[in-house]
C-alpha cells in the first residue's frame, strides 16, 4: 500500500458475497462485512501486471490485525484503504477527471489568498474536467466568488509574448518554401535575397 499512497485511483468493482450486500438505492450498497477484494484502476499504471487482470487494475485484499485496547484483544479485518476526501490544486495538475466536486466558494478569512492565487486556483479546478456534465459544486456560488484576476505583471508578460508571436508570424511570411537536403541553408527570407541581389 505504500506504493499507492497519494495516488489517484478509480474504484471499478467490489467483490463480496451476495448475502453480505444490501441494496440501498440505485447507487449505494450496504456491505455488512469487509469485501473479499476491491479493484482499483489507475490512469497510468506502472505496477506489475497480474495474471488474468488488466495491467491498470490493482487488487486490494483485506488484512487481519490483532490490537489490544484496555486489556481486551480485538481482531480486526478490513481493507487497508482510505478514500481521498479532497485533493489540492497542485495534486490534480496534469490530471484529467471525468467528474469532480469543486469548492469555488471564496473564503475571505483564508490566509495567503490574494486575487492572483484565487484566479489560478479557480482555473486549475475548472480545467481538469473533460465535460461540464461532470462538474459539481460543493457550495452555492455567485459572481463575487469568480471575480478574480491574475497579477498585473503576468498580464504584461502575456501581452509581450503575444507581440513576439505577431512579429514572428510576420517575419516568417517572407520565407519561401524550400525543399531538398540543403533546405536549412537555402531557406533565406525573400526580402533578404532581393536586397542582396541589388548589390551584385
Nearest to 54 by CA among 70, 69, 43, 66: 43
pLDDT at 54: 73
3-state secondary structure the chain: CHHHCCCCEEEEEEECCHHHEEECCCCCEEECCCCCEEEEEECCCCCCCCCCCCCCEEEECCEEEEEEECCEEEEEEECCCCCCCCCCHHHHCCCCECCEEECCCCCCCCCCCCHHHHHHHHHHHHCCECCHHHEEECCCCCHHHCCCCCCHHHHHHHHHHHHHHHHHHHHHCCECCCCCCCHHHHCCEHHHHHHHHCCC
pLDDT at 157: 97
pLDDT at 199: 45
What is the model's pTM? 0.50
- CB 79, CB 38: distance < 8 Å: yes
Which residue has 505504500 as its cell numbers?
2
pLDDT at 47: 58
**Per-residue confidence in pLDDT tens, the chain, 200 aa:** 334 444 555 555 566 555 566 677 777 777 777 777 888 777 665 556 677 777 777 788 888 889 898 889 988 888 887 766 677 887 888 888 888 889 899 888 888 788 998 999 899 999 989 888 889 998 999 998 888 999 999 999 999 999 999 999 998 887 766 665 555 554 445 444 444 444 44
What gap in Å lies between CA 86 and CA 25, rounded to an integer?
25
What is the Cα gyration radius of the chain?
A: 29
Distances (CA, A) of 113 to 42, 53, 59: 32, 45, 40
pLDDT at 182: 53
Amino acid at each position: 500500500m505504500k506504493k499507492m499512497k497519494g495516488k489517484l485511483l478509480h474504484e471499478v468493482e467490489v467483490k463480496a458475497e451476495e448475502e453480505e450486500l444490501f441494496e440501498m438505492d440505485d447507487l449505494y450498497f450496504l456491505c455488512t462485512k469487509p469485501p473479499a477484494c476491491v479493484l482499483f484502476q489507475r490512469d497510468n499504471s506502472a505496477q506489475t501486471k497480474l495474471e488474468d487482470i488488466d495491467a491498470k487494475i490493482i487488487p486490494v485484499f483485506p488484512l487481519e490485525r490483532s490490537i489490544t485496547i484496555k486489556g481486551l484483544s480485538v481482531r480486526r479485518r478490513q481493507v487497508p484503504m482510505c478514500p481521498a476526501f479532497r485533493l489540492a490544486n497542485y495534486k490534480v495538475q496534469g490530471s484529467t477527471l471525468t467528474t469532480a466536486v469543486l469548492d469555488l466558494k471564496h473564503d475571505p478569512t483564508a490566509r495567503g489568498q490574494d486575487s492572483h492565487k484565487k484566479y489560478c486556483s479557480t482555473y486549475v479546478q475548472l480545467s481538469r474536467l473533460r465535460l461540464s456534465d461532470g462538474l459539481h459544486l460543493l457550495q452555492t456560488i455567485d459572481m463575487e466568488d469568480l471575480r478574480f484576476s491574475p497579477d498585473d505583471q503576468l498580464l504584461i508578460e502575456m501581452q509581450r509574448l503575444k507581440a513576439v508571436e505577431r512579429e514572428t508570424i510576420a517575419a516568417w511570411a517572407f520565407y519561401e518554401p524550400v525543399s531538398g537536403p540543403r533546405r536549412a541553408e537555402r531557406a533565406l527570407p525573400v526580402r533578404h535575397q532581393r536586397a542582396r541581389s541589388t548589390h551584385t
